[in-house]
Amino acid sequence: MSQPLPRKESYKFIEDLDFPFREDVAKYERMAKIGQGTFGEVFKARHKKTKKIVALKKVLMENEKEGFPITALREIRILQLLNHENVVNLIEICRIKAAAVNGFKSTFYLVSDFCEHDLAGLLSNANVKFQLGEIKKVMQQL
């Protein structure tokens, strides 16, 4: 016989939990939603103090029953290890604190440098013509 799920009021203690080494995403101002995929939504945003334009990737956690998604952990670890001019730079990981308004679930964002275009977008654009050297470089990277 299954046990009934606890009521949301019993999660009130979660509001007091903090992630001291994770900044609040409120320091960024969302400008536009620029994409959505299987693993999250992506927004163009601006840092409120420095005015730097960044990309905020929201980590989707609606279907997670066992904590933080393993796919997001892998992505974070790989981006932390990579340091290359052709790989986007992971600036930081931010969060929205758990509260009653968000169902007592924290939301995490990967903050990275904003890129005006991605390879898939350039390849699908008929107006963009690659030079032979660029094609060779893309193939080498793949």
Q: Report which of 46, 12, 18 is spatially closest to residue 32, judged by C-alpha positions.
A: 46
136 is in an annotated binding site: no
SS3 at position 42: strand
For residues 33 and 55, give the distance between their C-alpha atoms in angstroms, rounded to a whole number: 10
Q: Report which of 128, 117, 127, 125 is spatially closest to residue 35, judged by C-alpha positions.
A: 117
- Contacts of residue 112, Cβ cutoff 8 Å, sequence gap at least 6: 54, 55, 57, 79, 88, 89, 90, 91
Residues 62 and 81: beta-carbon distance below 8 Å: no
Instruction: List, as residue ranges, the binding site.
Output: 57
Instruction: List, as residue ranges, the binding site for ATP.
Output: 57
